[in-house]
Every structure is written in structure tokens, then in C-alpha cells.
Structure 1
């Protein structure tokens, strides 16, 4: 079952007097429970694609369905509600509120859920801070935490709303190699245990190797899609412009296994 579906999506921006086409005729299906990476050079359109899936932006043309809902024509408050209840976000700069403790940062997005009382909110906060291994750091502010710990708080915050989809924009970019591996393995473990769909925008080869599906984007177009289900990667689709076979084997190095 597709939890994300994009159909013939274009996205144009106006920069001064110039029209820039960030995405061109993108069609993409993402299955529920996927651990998918969108890879491409800077300016390729991968962040634009992630923003469209996250309902932060809207397409110039084409259709986008998130969890079965057509986002076309939805009002801003309807998109906000869809984001709050269906999508979680993890950013490379963590985006934690510096004056709040770890537990307060995780609780913050839950305050808009009027159906949750204070006891239920605290229960969720404790649960997800425990999942990311930070039960002993609940009262610490971001300045008292390492980069890896701050990213774990950001993961707990993303999960606390119990979203079906977590969008991660370069989540390892500001972390050292060992810490980044640990964060990636933590997210993979969450994906396997809770069946949460993860969608990454990334340059990181480790993310690409750990992903079970890899989408390559260049100049606003998807050029290849690969399935990586525990064996050699298999190209399942190429842009017609490449004139390559539809299915082709490809080598894949093993992702580094890091225990949390």
C-alpha cells in the first residue's frame, strides 16, 4: 500500500524575473513502512521534493497523496493538521528550542492535540525519550547535550505525535562519523520495530546503503530508483532519457552495523 503517491508533479519558483523549475514531471510511490533515501547533488530538487511530501510547500501542478489524502486544494489549516498528525520532521540542525528541556521539547508538538491531557502527554514523552535512550537526560537543555543527544531528542519529538511518516533532511550532516552511524541505526531499528515510514533527503553514503529503497534525483527529475532488500541493489526504473535497461543489477556495499 502506498502511503505517499506523487503523480506528474512539477514545482516552479520565481527568482526575480527568472522562472526556475525545481521539479519536472515527478511520479513516485512510497510504500508504507519504507526506509527510503532521496539522493542527489545540491540543487537537484531533493529538498523541494521532501518539502512537498511534508506539505510545507505545494506543487505548481500534479497530484500528491499523503496517507490516502489528496493535498490539492486543502486550506492552510487543513495542511497544518495533516502535518501534525501524519508527519514527523527531523532536521540536520536539530531545531530544538534552547530554553526548553529535552522533555519539554518533545512535549511541545503534543500541546496542539487537545484530546491529550497532561498525564497522557507526559506518558508519551517518557516513552519516546526512553526509546532513544535519553531517560536520564529529560531535564537537560539542548546546550547541556551533545550533538548526538540533541538529534535523539529531535527523533523523540518527531515520534511523539505517532506519525505514519518521518521526514529526515540530512539528519547526520552535523554529526561525527560514529555518532551519525548510531543515529542511523537507531532510526532503522525504529523503522523495523514500529513500521514507521522514514524518508531521507541526503548526501550521506551511509544513509543510502542502509536504505531499503534509493531514489536518485538530478535536475528536478528522478533518474533511477533502486530496491535494496538485503542483497545487491536492483535498479527498478530509470529516466527514459538515459536509454538504459529498465532492470539492472548493481553492487551494494554492506551498511555498517552499529548497536545502540
Structure 2
């Protein structure tokens, strides 16, 4: 059973006196253990799709299933519980609370899990800070950390709830090339060795080249679906025009 399935999704926003279509007729599944890149130019709909898959936004039309359960019509409180226990997020701007230490930022989503005791929370936080190589920076605040270190804190925060899937919105966009590579190496290692499922929205070819699933989007629609087989891409769906750039 897929972790996430979306079927015939459409999303329309009202901007002033105009309706703007961000998604139209999008269907996609996310299987356990994949390292998936949703790629496309700005305005293609990839971030909107990621937000709907992560229950941050709701579709205008269509169905969203998380672990086989239809969440399309759930209340904001119910969706918040789904997010807290199933889905981790990594954002390009890190979204860390500046007044909290690295430890406290990672612990923050656990505070709503009342079944966890303080020692259990502490054990989890220390485990994931060590996993991302930041154990000795636990008491540093975000302004005392580099961009790469802050993104590693965000990775630990996404993992600490034992999320089934981590959604990452342009996670390398605000990082220099070398730091971006180290973050990608970390997430690929977590995927291959721990089985963590990752879905990225990106226009970074480095992310696409690491992926084993590729979803190309343009104008709110999926134009290509690719699977990596023996180091090469096999496109199971491809509606790109011949003049489109075929490079990954």
C-alpha cells in the first residue's frame, strides 16, 4: 500500500478577481522507501502538490489518501494529527525557531505526543542529532549554526517523530554547492540505510540525479514519470514536447 496516493487533484486559487489554476488532474503514488524528485520550473505546481500531499493545503478537487485513509475532507485539527505522526517536513528556509536551541527545535514536534515521557523525548532527540552529526551542537541556537548545520537540524526534526515520509521543499536552494551536496549525501544515506522515504520538490539537477523516481511538472500537470533502472531513466509516462530539454 502506498504511503501517499493522490488522485485527479486540482487546485485553484483566487487572486484578486482572477482564478489561478495551480494543479489540474494530477495523480501520483508515493511508495515506501523511494527517493523521489518532483521537478519543474517556478510556477509549475510542484510546491502546491507537495503541500497537498503533506496536508498543509487542501485540493479544490480530487482525493488524497495517507496510508490508505482518505483525508480529503478532514478538519484542520485532524489533518494536523496526520502531519504530526506520519509526515516530516524540510523547508528551504529551515523554519527553525530562533529562540530555541538545536535540541529544543528537534524536540518541539514531540511535545504534542503526550504518550512520550521527557526521558523518551530526550533519547529520541539525542539519537537524531547524532544521526545528522550535530550531537556537540545540541545547545547552539540557529544563529550560531551555519546554513548546512541548520538544515541538518531540520532533517533531525523531520525524522524525530518517526515519520513515514519526509517531504522536502527545495532543501538545497539556500545552500552553497558543497553544503548542498553534503545534505543530499546525508538524506540519501538515510534513505538507503534506514529506509526513510523522501519526496523533494526541486529544480536542482543534483537532486534529480540522486533520485530513483522522477516526476516532471509543467503548468500544473505531470508531463513525465521516470524510474531509474540500472543507472538509466525509463519513462513510464512522457508527454513532453520533442523540443523540451531531455536532460536530467
Query: How many Å separate the matches in 1 of 2:230 and 2:48?
Result: 29
Count residues in correspondence: 246
What does residue 74 of structure 1 align with? 74
What does residue 43 of structure 2 align with? 43
Mark the CA change 1:144 to 1:230 in structure 2 (over 3 Å): closer, same or farther. farther
For normalisation by structure 2, the TM-score amounts to: 0.96
What does residue 25 of structure 1 align with? 25
What does residue 161 of structure 2 align with? 161
- Structure 1 vs Structure 2 CA RMSD: 1.5
CA contact (8 A) 1:89 1:158 kept: yes
Query: How many Å separate the matches in 2 of 1:178 and 1:68?
Result: 39
What does residue 237 of structure 2 align with? 237
CA contact (8 A) 1:233 1:251 kept: no
Unaligned runs of 5+ in 2: none
Q: 54-63 or 228-237: which moved more?
A: 228-237
Query: How many Å separate the matches in 2 of 1:230 and 1:42?
Result: 30
Deviant stretches of 4+, over 4 Å: none
Query: How many Å separate the matches in 2 of 1:18 and 1:93?
Result: 29
Tell me, what secondary structure is at the counterpart of 2:3? Answer: strand
Tell me, what secondary structure is at the counterpart of 1:235? Answer: strand
Q: Deviations over 1:106-129 (max 9, x none)?
A: 001100000001000000000000
1:3 aligns with 2:7: no
How do 1:1-260 residues align onto structure 2 when only pairs under 5 Å count? 1-239=1-239, 242=241
